[in-house]
Amino acid sequence: MDPISNPFSPGAGSPPPELVGRDNILEQTNILFARILKKRPEKSFFLTGLRGVGKTVLLNEIERLAEKADYRTIFIEAHEDKSLVALLAPHLRKLLFDLDRLAGAGHKARRSLAVLKSFISSFKLKFDDVEFGLDIEPERGSADSGDIEVDLSNLFLSVAEAAQERETAVSILIDESQYLDHVELSALIMAMHKMQQRQLPLVLIGAGLPILPALMGDSKSYAERLFQFPDIGPLSEPDAARALQDPVKAAGVEFSADALQEIFRLTQGYPYFLQEWGYQSWNRASKSPITLQTVQGATPIVVQRLDANFFRVRFDRLTTSEKNYLRAMAQQGPGPYRSGDVASALSVKVTSLGTVRATLIKKGMIYSPTHGDLAFTVPLFDEFMRRAIPDFTSRA
């Protein structure tokens, strides 16, 4: 069928034709936004889920809801090599300038800019002073201790007060939150604790890999009182069917029931894979309905594309010993896995694998779903590893 009108959208962060199966989260988000504006307590949240499950597109949708609810929104993506402070500061500066320009009495936005300026200088970020306006002097003694756990709270307080003075609210959205370091996460938790105590209109919504709650470490039990960690999982079979069927129906085309079943069997309902299978099946079909046979014909192309892109970008970032470790995991099926079994498969002692396991966790390749267990953060990665390195026995 015409590839130009193909409705599917495989790709990181590409909005799907239908955002299926996420109504609960979206409703919860609307409730959060509305309650915070009414000064009622409500937990902010971190969406957690595997690679390609739809966290980024959900966060983008949440950004739209925030704007509809008249929130001022900051959307950042955490990064292994960039500090939270460096990511946030330019957005906060813009937001505060916008608030300052809105009509209304009071000078809290200006004050917050002064706090931001001292915050920035204490973290030695380089911003052109002129961009702040010559008349804004850093407010000494506010948010400039150099200790982010203290300073971020003070900065958020001043920002939220400025928003409140202008009768608006602020939402800060952070994708890839697992790349924040321990201190940054703990600073965010403390800052959000302050927001809650003072009933100030600032919410934080993050998204990240399932390792996130564990990264909060010591601050975890505290975090659980302030945040929820909704699990963003694969779609159920009926939802997966809708994600495929509704977009093609809009174009006057249909999937046959057995075609849908086959795609569900292969994808296990993981959104990224649904988009890929939908996309290739559409292109291969010559007429409606799209049949089981078409899907079967598309499967090798989909697998090849996934191997060359979705899986490969992750594989290429690994060292040889990391690849061996993952291959030994994959040898045992879909998981979860025990470290001891991985070590025996490699004929070495568990203790000798501590470092490689730690770097794999840091790179976001594996995580520990429950104590002592390991799992891949990329769905169906075990199958990919067996394809990428077919011959395991020779290396054990």
Ligand X SMILES: Nc1ncnc2c1ncn2[C@@H]1O[C@H](COP(=O)(O)OP(=O)(O)OP(=O)(O)O)[C@@H](O)[C@H]1O
Q: Which residues bind ligand X (CB under 6 A)?
A: 9-14, 16, 19-22, 49, 51-57, 243, 271-272, 274-275
Q: How far is the CB of 323 from ligand X (least distance, A)?
A: 20
Separation of alpha carbons 315 and 44, rounded Å: 34
- Pick one of Mg ion, ligand X, none as the site partner of residue 19 (Cβ within 5 to 8 A by kind): ligand X
Separation of alpha carbons 144 and 301, rounded Å: 55
- Pick one of ligand X, Mg ion, none as the site partner of residue 243 (Cβ within 5 to 8 A by kind): ligand X
- Pick one of Mg ion, ligand X, none as the site partner of residue 88 (Cβ within 5 to 8 A by kind): none
Nearer to ligand X by C-beta: 179 or 337? 179
Is residue 168 within 8 Å of 200, Cβ to Cβ?
Answer: no
> Considering the rule CB under 5 A, would residue 177 count as an interface residue with Mg ion?
no
Q: How far is the CB of 297 from ligand X (least distance, A)?
A: 22
CB-count exposure of residue 363 (10 Å: 0-12, 13-18, 19+):
middle
User: Which pairs with CB-CB distance under 8 Å and at least 24 residues apart come from 98-101?
Assistant: 98/72, 99/72, 99/162, 99/163, 99/165, 99/166, 99/168, 100/162
The answer for residues whose C-beta is within 8 angstroms of residue 34's C-beta and 6 or more apart is 69
Strands 71-77 and 44-48: unpaired
Mask 41-60, x = binds Mg ion (CB under 5 A)?
A: ---------------x----
Separation of alpha carbons 53 and 120, rounded Å: 35
Q: How far is the CB of 57 from Mg ion (least distance, A)?
A: 8
For ligand X, which residue has the nearest CB? 54
Nearer to Mg ion by C-beta: 312 or 395? 312
Nearer to ligand X by C-beta: 149 or 254? 254
Number of residues that bind Mg ion (CB under 5 A): 1
**Rg of the chain taking only CA atoms, in angstroms:** 24
Q: How far is the CB of 68 from Mg ion (least distance, A)?
A: 22
Q: How far is the CB of 171 from ligand X (least distance, A)?
A: 18
Tokens describing residue 186: 């703990």
Is residue 242 within 8 Å of 58, Cβ to Cβ?
Answer: no
For Mg ion, which residue has the nearest CB? 56
Rule CB under 5 A: which of 56-85 touch Mg ion?
Answer: 56
Q: How far is the CB of 55 from Mg ion (least distance, A)?
A: 5
Place of tokens 């900065």: 155
Nearer to ligand X by C-beta: 301 or 348? 301
Nearer to ligand X by C-beta: 56 or 118? 56
3-class DSSP assignment, residue 45: strand
Nearer to Mg ion by C-beta: 56 or 168? 56
Give rounded-to-5 percent helix, strand, coil for the chain: 55, 10, 35
Nearer to ligand X by C-beta: 11 or 289? 11
Helix axes 292-306, 271-284, angle to 10 degrees: 120
The b-or-e profile of 168-189 (16+ CB within 10 A means b, else e) is: bbbbbbbbbbbbbeeebbbbbb
Q: How far is the CB of 212 from ligand X (least distance, A)?
A: 12
Q: How far is the CB of 361 from Mg ion (least distance, A)?
A: 18
Binding site for Mg ion (CB under 5 A): 56
